[in-house]
Structure 1
Amino acid sequence: MQPTKRSRLFAFKKWDFWSWVTLVMYLFLFAFIVYPLCSLFINSFYNDEGVFSLETYANFIKLKYYYGALWNSLKVSAFATIFAILIGVPLAYVTSRYNVKFKGLIQILVIMSLLSPPFIGAYSWILMLGNNGFLTRFFHDIGIPFSSVYGWKGIVFVFTLQFYPHIYLYVSGALKTIDTSLEEAAESLGRSSFHRLRTVTLPLIFPTLSAGALMVFMASFADFGTPMLLGQGFKVLPILAYEQFISEMGGNPAMASTLSIILIVCSTSILFLQRYFVSRKNYTMTGMRTPKVQTLRPLTKWLLTAGALLVAFVSIIPQATVIVTSFIKTKGPVFHAGFSLNSYKEILFRVPKAILNTYTFSLISIVIMVIMGMLVAYVLVRRKSKITAMLDSLIMIPYVMPGTVLGISMIIAFNKPPVVLTGTWIILVIAYVVRKLPYTIRSSTAILYQLDRSVEEASISLGVPPMKTFFKTTGRLMAPGVLSGAILSWVTTINELSSTIVLYYGATATISVTIYSEVFTANYGTGAALASILSVTTLVSLLVANKLSKKGLMM
């Protein structure tokens, strides 16, 4: 018997609060992820005359100018990942397995270097190792031949120092929880320490190591700022997509769309490839016997401490450099002897709007992300179904979307009626929310999995409605962990460049875009002052997040 119209309406009225949350989230994702992506995909099949054609894809395959950019992206990302592993794994092993000194300081420095945006690292190394950098001049003065940091090798160098903390943090956590019985079994068979590390320890932590390596590769593959500042003619795919879309000669939106689709396909393929290799073997352990920190001889301990501190201090050099140079007297690209606050006075006089925009847009985005993250996390964890599983998959799409691609897709989708958002601050906020929402939701779901349902059930059994129970009880319990995760999203939002540079116009410029412009016009002093503001904000945010996470553990 078919349901009548009245019965269907009655069933619709029976929807609870969480059903509406699910529906609203689907509408949001379809409006700002699925629709822009479909628009981007369709646009890639139309040439400049608006005729359906495979010309852009054919040109990508035929012309080295286009497919060479893909090869360049893969090359720098692969080398950066390899070098990040070579730095991150030994550093994680030393700090987690041995009684080296200053572990807390090392971890803070490593995390600080990770949270700093890559383009600030690139800018700092230009100040030090550029064509007229002070280290470059020093090397020339003492007779050491050194050209500059520009080129693909410089890009790999900056990516390595920027992203090896991913490897360090992932591997450190895995090494602290690994079951040592397998290592002890290998030791009883007479295996050397290196042999045990290669044949037992590394295979056991392979899923975690590969997840960290994936993060390094994806971040390098999608980054726009570093190759743009250091490339000097070395084109990678995000830069080429941006240049094709926003060109002084009129641009080529169809080719930009094609390059963007290829970027997404490559990112998705890499993600599935990593999951395939992890799924081939079983990596489960009992975890009953976690490793003990080994006590070293004084000389060995101090040598390893010195090595670990050296790596950490080198990776924090970019932030130290921009802060110091922001106080040096400057006239355009030339630094003069003596300290001055002129750079700060200039930015407060010339670009105060960019500073205000950065914090305003990021704050609005974070408020939206926290509210959406907590509500959607509850749906995903407590209301599991095929519908919520599909919702979870849609939410993770931005995870594989470079910021440049997201910006291009949103302009193509919202540059014409019925909804015109380009040229407004709203499109920037939406882009930030879409890009960073997966991370906020993941931190929220992680907290929710740790909360016992009995607390909610007790509240509901006392007659409190489910929605009120969430806001009065569950939400409050989630808050410390969610806020600490949200602060990390806030840090990446204020530093966002790749999507902002596509979507902004003069009145909505942010600090990151202004730094990029100042560096390209050789105003290094003002660029350093703006970068210092971001660095100090990052440090303060990290300290607040650390305090909140400790409070969350205490509750």
Structure 2
Amino acid sequence: MIQRKRKPEVWSWIGYAILALYVIALVYPLLNLLRHSVYSPETGFSFRNFQKFFSTKYYTVTLLNSLKVTVATTAVTLLIGAPLAYFFSFYRIRGQKVLNILIILSSMSAPFIGAYSWILLLGRNGIVTNFIKGFIPSFSVDIYGFSGILLVLSLQLYPLVFLYVSGALKNIDNSLMEAAQNLCCTGLNRFFKVVMPLVAPTLLASGLLVFMRALADFGTPMLIGEGYRTFPVLIYTEFMSEVGGDEGFAAAISVMAVVITAVFFLTQKFASNKLSFTMSAMNSVTQKNLSGVRAVLVHIFAYIVVGLSIVPQCFVIYTSFLKTKGLIFIDGYWLGSYETAFSKLGSSIQNTFIIAGTALVVIILAAVLIAYLTVRRKNAVSNSIDLISMIAYIIPGSVLGIAMLMCFNRPPLAISGGYLIMVLALVVRRLPYTIRSSTAILQQIPVTIEEASISLGSSKMKTFFFITIPMMANGIISGAILSWVTMITELSTSIILYTGRTKTLTVSIYTEVIRGNYGVAAALSTILTVLTVLSLLIFMRISKTKNVTM
């Protein structure tokens, strides 16, 4: 009897389609970037671009600067975020709910807005600087260069460590803390000898995320660096130079950036696997009241850290209502900056909604399908999709922007300069967030529910749409809102891919700051902050949580 060859089912075709799209949108641009770094029609195959980089001190110093900034930022955020999470988890702190919300808000704003606001506060003509000079004429503070970048990135990124570690501390069983206390291991001794080893994998994960974000940040060093060159700025200037950028050299630098992030990512994964263990909190840690000097010190630490991280946004909102003429703020209040923002730059607000909104629809659809494939339909194709989707997680935004622009600026895929390439870049970069949340909630849904539906005569696709997706709704929406927040605050990719008609809100803020239109920049930043706050409130309402994990 001749057996008919089994036809691929619909989920197989969906898997092939998603894999093909990833190959076109991500793998092909990265391979093309690699090709440009080692090959040109004039010279053929050579490593001259890499030789040029490592033989010129100007470029090697840039690499060292980036590593110095990222390592220092990672260390500072761990030193701030981990103790703060410990205090919030183990002790009752006055105003803790409000502080939690402020920490989340400070983590979601664009870092370059923090850089801009600190210039207004502590710059050479800053409000705080001029105030102190009234009492101490010789007063000066170096807010520019390495110290300024470190300040901005540390205050922007420590919430990531705080949120990660807070989640891990909830899984610690209180009996371990009680056992440590019975053995006279309390206070700082318990923190370093008991708590830190238990959350070590989480510290590594959060440290890696901080490292990658700090390494990939473009706006902060561009605004406040003042000659302190970092990798993303170098990539941008080499590729977008007004006197004719060197694509091959920019590609070589981009390849090195990808290699650096990949090495740190794999190192973190290896270390986490070595340190990982399962822990279930049968008896969760309970918060205790503090008293005496310890209570004062803990409250001072918490209030100062959270205050410093939220001050930039508050000050930007305040300055958006001040009368201004370019770089100069004059006495009085008005809404002129908002009028200019909506009349002359209203299209950038509209573009933000159109581009990010379109990308969000694609992300939700793709994340649901990918999550189902990787959890319920494990095979070589779904495993490949899972692996490729995480590649975008470690690629700096400027690198992805350059890779796409070099790849899609000529037939048959000439889409550069339009909305499509902007949407595609956001989808590729932010899809992993929604995939993770969708996968996590799908793993909690018993497969027997779907089997029961199918056994009652429902088709597989009908079961998926009417049974599985509704049960995944909270995870899908939570991940989608986080993707939305990161998309509307995206700068490093947009600054490379945008044109006059696809200018987004973050690009407009950045260009207005560069031009010295501080009032308009503050108004646009306030609009962006309001959008972020509303998104987070929706997220917390839907997910019924006060914490956000990235």
TM (norm. structure 2) is 0.96
Q: Any conservation in 2 of the 1:361–1:429 contact (CA below 8 Å)?
A: yes
Residue 459 of structure 1: how far off its partner (Å): 1.4
The residue aligned with 2:246 is: 252
Question: For residues 352 and 195 of structure 1, what CA distance do their matches in structure 2 show?
Answer: 55
Alignment of 1:345 onto 2:328: no
Residue 551 of structure 1: how far off its partner (Å): 9.5
Question: For residues 242 and 487 of structure 1, what CA distance do their matches in structure 2 show?
Answer: 29
Alignment of 1:538 onto 2:528: no
Question: For residues 353 and 187 of structure 1, what CA distance do their matches in structure 2 show?
Answer: 60
The residue aligned with 1:477 is: 471
In structure 1, which of residues 109, 117, 123 is the aligned counterpart of residue 110 of structure 2?
A: 117
Within 5 A, what are the aligned runs for 1:22-101? 22-47=15-40, 49=42, 51-101=44-94
The residue aligned with 1:434 is: 428
Deviations 1:362-417 (A, max 9, x none): 00000110011111111111111233122110110001100000000001111111
Within 5 A, what are the aligned runs for 1:320-335? 320-335=314-329
Segment drifting more, 18-27 vs 454-463: 454-463
The residue aligned with 1:486 is: 480
Deviations 1:237-288 (A, max 9, x none): 1111111111011000001000000000000001111122223335333533
- For the residue of structure 1 that corresponds to 2:443, the secondary structure is helix
Question: For residues 286 and 505 of structure 1, what CA distance do their matches in structure 2 show?
Answer: 51
Q: Any conservation in 2 of the 1:481–1:552 contact (CA below 8 Å)?
A: no
The residue aligned with 1:452 is: 446
Matched residue type, 1:108: I
Segment drifting more, 302-311 vs 438-447: 302-311
Matched residue type, 2:196: L
Matched residue type, 1:548: I
Q: Any conservation in 2 of the 1:47–1:56 contact (CA below 8 Å)?
A: no
Residue 188 of structure 1: how far off its partner (Å): 3.2
Question: For residues 148 and 296 of structure 1, what CA distance do their matches in structure 2 show?
Answer: 37
Question: For residues 95 and 164 of structure 2, what CA distance do their matches in structure 1 show?
Answer: 19
The residue aligned with 2:9 is: 16
Alignment of 1:361 onto 2:355: yes
Matched residue type, 1:549: S
The residue aligned with 2:457 is: 463
- For the residue of structure 2 that corresponds to 1:330, the secondary structure is strand
Q: Any conservation in 2 of the 1:100–1:302 contact (CA below 8 Å)?
A: no
Question: For residues 453 and 301 of structure 1, what CA distance do their matches in structure 2 show?
Answer: 49
Number of aligned residues: 546
Question: For residues 75 and 246 of structure 2, what CA distance do their matches in structure 1 show?
Answer: 35
- For the residue of structure 1 that corresponds to 2:288, the secondary structure is coil
Matched residue type, 2:60: Y
In structure 1, which of residues 478, 495, 504 is the aligned counterpart of residue 498 of structure 2?
A: 504
Residue 465 of structure 1: how far off its partner (Å): 0.6
Q: Any conservation in 2 of the 1:136–1:148 contact (CA below 8 Å)?
A: no
Closer, same or farther: CA 539–351 of 1 in aligned 2, 3 Å: same
Q: Provide structure 2 residue ranges, at least 5 long, that are not aligned to the other structure.
A: none
In structure 1, which of residues 103, 126, 137 is the aligned counterpart of residue 130 of structure 2?
A: 137
The residue aligned with 2:95 is: 102
The residue aligned with 2:256 is: 262
Q: Any conservation in 2 of the 1:99–1:301 contact (CA below 8 Å)?
A: no
- For the residue of structure 2 that corresponds to 1:508, the secondary structure is coil
Alignment of 1:177 onto 2:171: yes
Q: Any conservation in 1 of the 2:36–2:248 contact (CA below 8 Å)?
A: yes
Closer, same or farther: CA 282–167 of 1 in aligned 2, 3 Å: closer
Residue 299 of structure 1: how far off its partner (Å): 6.9
Matched residue type, 2:316: V
In structure 2, which of residues 192, 204, 213 is the aligned counterpart of residue 198 of structure 1?
A: 192
Closer, same or farther: CA 285–134 of 1 in aligned 2, 3 Å: same
Alignment of 1:406 onto 2:404: no
Q: Any conservation in 1 of the 2:19–2:384 contact (CA below 8 Å)?
A: no
Q: Any conservation in 1 of the 2:201–2:276 contact (CA below 8 Å)?
A: no
Closer, same or farther: CA 398–508 of 1 in aligned 2, 3 Å: same
Closer, same or farther: CA 286–344 of 1 in aligned 2, 3 Å: closer
Question: For residues 510 and 320 of structure 2, what CA distance do their matches in structure 1 show?
Answer: 15
Q: Which runs of 4+ in 1 moved over 6 A?
A: none
The residue aligned with 1:157 is: 151
Q: Any conservation in 2 of the 1:21–1:376 contact (CA below 8 Å)?
A: no
How high is the sequence identity, in percent, across the aligned residues?
A: 44
Q: Any conservation in 2 of the 1:425–1:508 contact (CA below 8 Å)?
A: yes
The residue aligned with 1:288 is: 282
Question: For residues 337 and 479 of structure 2, what CA distance do their matches in structure 1 show?
Answer: 33
RMSD of aligned alpha carbons:
2.0
Matched residue type, 1:510: T
Question: For residues 321 and 492 of structure 1, what CA distance do their matches in structure 2 show?
Answer: 22
The residue aligned with 2:223 is: 229
In structure 2, which of residues 408, 413, 421 is the aligned counterpart of residue 419 of structure 1?
A: 413
- For the residue of structure 2 that corresponds to 1:450, the secondary structure is coil
Matched residue type, 2:185: R
Matched residue type, 1:20: W
Q: Any conservation in 1 of the 2:89–2:285 contact (CA below 8 Å)?
A: no
Q: Any conservation in 2 of the 1:343–1:526 contact (CA below 8 Å)?
A: yes
Q: Any conservation in 1 of the 2:400–2:493 contact (CA below 8 Å)?
A: yes
Question: For residues 551 and 320 of structure 1, what CA distance do their matches in structure 2 show?
Answer: 24
Matched residue type, 1:59: K
- For the residue of structure 2 that corresponds to 1:44, the secondary structure is helix
Closer, same or farther: CA 552–335 of 1 in aligned 2, 3 Å: closer
Residue 126 of structure 1: how far off its partner (Å): 1.2
- For the residue of structure 2 that corresponds to 1:338, the secondary structure is strand
Question: For residues 488 and 461 of structure 1, what CA distance do their matches in structure 2 show?
Answer: 36
- For the residue of structure 2 that corresponds to 1:142, the secondary structure is coil
The residue aligned with 1:397 is: 391
Question: For residues 313 and 288 of structure 2, what CA distance do their matches in structure 1 show?
Answer: 33
Matched residue type, 1:310: I
TM (norm. structure 1) is 0.95
Matched residue type, 1:22: G
Matched residue type, 1:35: Y
Matched residue type, 1:111: I
